[in-house]
Structure 1
């Protein structure tokens, strides 16, 4: 392998880190020079120190586990229902006419607007936060699943029928693989809304979790912990998105658009 080729590979590997590392360095320099007061925005070193202290006393790990459990439970509950309804409305004209108009009407209701009502029904218990997370991810997954199914190339469906495929074989070998890219896009979109919903739910109605930790820090003007909480949410969102992209590469290796992703 030539030196030029090795350099191109190395440059490609470090390119995504250039902007965040540069921003962190500028942030640290501004804090050190006194341009950013610590009570407004603490230095990155102060945030790292706060993270170390919270890890040592177990608070960060405990709250992180609670938030992750809430997010995953809501994802499984809302994602399963929305995925099945998307498939049903996509493959069944009767199901589409029966369910889709009502779902499209309900979709226009902002899910965070339901927060006061959900708290009134369920209090600040786990059911309220899980329900909001499930509701938040419902429509991204439903819409993309439905769109993927109805957008399957009709010529491929006709070809499958001409080869004598049964309905199940046609769905398994033609319709579902054709819809899978759209389904995974819906999953990525839904994961972003999942963390956004959880942030709001935990900062308004919770007694544990990363959002609760941030609100407790606000009461005592601990800006380093507030900034740390923001970074934790950002890291969780990035991790979820990266895992979904990995899933795309594994499940869509047959698709030329994802072969070199």
Structure 2
């Protein structure tokens, strides 16, 4: 009996650890295969540089300060734009979900504007705000706003009405009902919108920087693509991939903190 319990404990331990190590193992195998393909020149280096060459190019860009400058420019735009779009989207979504009048008047407007590709509005936004940081921040905020407001609205509508009636019956005012019943009930759906808009914000960041920026990861990728320096181009691409991963992990951590019952 004791030996069986020991085996069960070891199996349970491995089941917990394998998913964590599997991701790192998969990435390691991919990088090794990538390096082998490049070293054997199966694919020309111009089209697919080796990981070691990309690391060398990245180190060179760090040494010259070029990478820091472009990274910080992009981080400022995406953090500010994402924060504005997410905060405004959550507030408007709560209002639309809680107020029948606001729902009837503004929800059709939100759904009619949502399908418009936001990058198509960049020239118009540049006309409104001029050339600078504001148009790029605004286009990211717009891209984040719509998924967040729609998911927040859906989350509020899906909250059990019995819980709301119970809170009102026990004397809670509108603010307490929103803060203690509706918002916690809608949080899982809100975070689904936040995660969805994280990817959208990166796409809009790169697109905006390629069109109307001198600094930033998107502008850097476009610049080295035009010069056909693929090692430095891949540094930008991998950096964007890392940013997306960190963004997603950060939202998952925040979700675990705010929604422990999930």
| TM over 0.5, shorter chain | yes
Gaps of 5+ in 2: 1-5
Question: 1:81, 1:8 → 2: CA distance?
Answer: 41
Give the alignment's Cα RMSD to 1 decimal.
1.6
Q: Which residue of 1 aligns with 2:152?
A: 145
- Could you list the structure 1 runs, at least 4 aligned residues long, displaced by more than 6 angstroms after superposition: none
Relative to structure 1, is the Cα distance of residues 86 and 3 closer, same or farther in structure 2, using a 3 angstrom cutoff? closer
1:199 partner SS: helix
- Structure 1 residue 63 corresponds to structure 2 residue 73: no
| Residue matched to 1:86 | 93
Matched with 2:168 is: 161
Q: Distance in 2 between matches of 1:200 and 1:153?
A: 40
Q: Show the counterpart of 1:98.
A: 105
Match of 1:201 in 2: 208
> SS in structure 1 opposite 2:150?
helix
Q: Distance in 1 between matches of 2:159 and 2:206?
A: 36
The runs of 5 or more residues in structure 1 that have no matched partner are none
1:53 partnered with 2:60? yes
Task: Tell me the distance in 2 between the aligned counterparts of 1:81 and 1:170.
Answer: 20
The two structures have a TM-score, normalised by structure 2, of 0.92
**1:38 corresponding residue in structure 2:** 45
Q: Structure 1 residues 4 and 102 mapped into 2: Cα distance closer, same or farther (>3 Å)?
A: closer
From 11, 16, 26, give the equivalent of 2:23. Answer: 16
Over 3 Å counting, the alpha-carbon distance change for 1:25 and 1:171 in structure 2 is: same
Please give the per-residue CA displacement for 1:62-100, whole angstroms capped at 9, x wherever unaligned: 110110000011112222222211111111111111211
Q: CA deviation at 1:5?
A: 4.3
Of 129, 133, 137, the residue aligned with 1:126 is 133
Instruction: Give the aligned partner of residue 224 of structure 2.
Output: 217
1:3 & 1:185 partners in 2: Cα distance?
35
TM-score for both structures, normalised by structure 1: 0.92
Q: How many residues align?
A: 255
